[in-house]
C-alpha cells in the first residue's frame, strides 16, 4: 500500500503509478511524499484511489479470496456432516442427546466465518486453530465408529481440515487479500465517520 501517499506538489492524496501523481501529473519519490489522510475531497467524495482499491484486485488477491472461501467450506461442510452423523446415531440410541463437541464446533465455525468476512483481524488464525482442532478430533474418534465407509469418511474429514488449516496459515495470497480488504474497510469507515461529522455540523 506504499503507492498511496500525499503528493508533495499538489498536496492531494494519490495512488501513484510509476511515481506519477494522477492529480497533477508530476513525479515524486516515495520518501518525498507525506502520509495520506484518507479524507473526503472538497466535493465530499471519496478519494479516487479508494475506487481503484475496491474495484480492482490483483490476480493474487483474487486467488486469495477464492482460497479463503474454499477453506471455509472445507472446514464447515465436514463439521456439518459430522454433526448430522452424531445426531442420527443419538436417535438410534434411545434418543440420547447429540454429543456436544461437533455441534459446538459447527456453531463456532459459523461465528468465526461471519467475523472473518466482517474483516475482524484475529479470525483467520482462530479459524486455523479450529480446523486443526477439528482434524485432531476427527482422528481421535475413528476408533469409536464401526463400518468401513464411516471410518473412511471421518479420515477424509480429518485430512480436509488439516489441508484447510495449512492453506490458511501459509498462503501469501490469502494474506494479501485480507490486508487489502482491511485497508479498504478502514478507508470506508474513516470517510463515513467524516461525512457524518460534516452533516452534523451542517
- 81-119 pLDDT, tens digit per residue, is 888 877 777 776 654 545 667 788 889 999 998 888 777
Is it the case that residue 51 has pLDDT exceeding 70?
no
Domain-located, residue 33: no
**Element (DSSP H or E) covering residue 4:** strand 4-6
pTM of the model: 0.60
Q: Is residue 2 part of a domain?
A: no
Q: Judge whether residue 122 has pLDDT over 80.
A: yes
> What is the domain range of residue 75?
59-176
Number of domains, the chain: 1
Phi, psi for 10 (deg, rounded to 5):
-100, -15
- Examine residue 97 and state whether it is found in any structural domain, yes or no: yes
Q: Is 145 inside any structural domain?
A: yes
In whole numbers, what is the pLDDT of the chain averaged over residues?
A: 76
Phi, psi dihedral angles at 5 (to 5 degrees)? -165, 175
Q: Is residue 19 part of a domain?
A: no
Q: Which helix (H) or strand (E) holds 13?
A: strand 13-15
Angle between helices 123-140 and 100-117 (to 10 degrees): 160
Task: Determine, yes or no, domain membership for 10.
Answer: no
Amino acid at each position: 500500500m506504499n503507492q498511496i501517499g500525499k503528493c508533495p506538489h499538489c498536496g492531494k492524496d494519490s495512488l501513484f503509478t510509476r511515481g506519477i501523481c494522477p492529480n497533477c501529473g508530476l513525479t515524486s519519490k516515495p520518501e518525498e511524499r507525506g502520509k495520506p489522510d484518507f479524507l473526503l475531497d472538497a466535493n465530499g467524495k471519496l478519494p479516487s484511489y479508494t475506487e481503484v482499491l475496491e474495484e480492482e484486485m490483483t490476480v493474487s488477491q483474487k486467488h486469495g479470496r477464492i482460497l479463503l472461501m474454499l477453506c471455509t467450506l472445507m472446514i464447515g461442510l465436514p463439521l456439518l456432516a459430522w454433526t448430522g452423523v452424531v445426531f442420527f446415531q443419538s436417535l438410534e440410541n434411545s434418543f440420547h442427546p447429540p454429543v456436544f463437541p461437533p455441534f459446538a464446533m459447527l456453531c463456532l465455525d459459523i461465528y468465526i466465518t461471519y467475523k472473518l468476512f466482517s474483516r475482524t483481524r484475529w479470525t483467520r488464525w482462530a479459524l486455523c486453530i479450529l480446523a486443526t482442532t477439528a482434524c485432531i478430533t476427527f482422528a481421535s474418534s475413528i476408533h469409536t465408529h464401526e463400518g468401513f465407509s464411516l471410518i473412511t469418511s471421518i479420515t477424509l474429514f480429518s485430512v480436509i481440515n488439516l489441508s484447510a488449516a495449512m492453506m490458511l496459515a501459509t498462503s501469501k495470497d490469502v494474506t494479501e487479500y485480507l490486508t487489502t480488504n482491511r485497508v479498504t474497510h478502514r478507508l470506508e469507515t474513516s470517510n463515513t465517520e467524516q461525512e457524518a461529522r460534516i452533516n452534523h455540523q451542517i
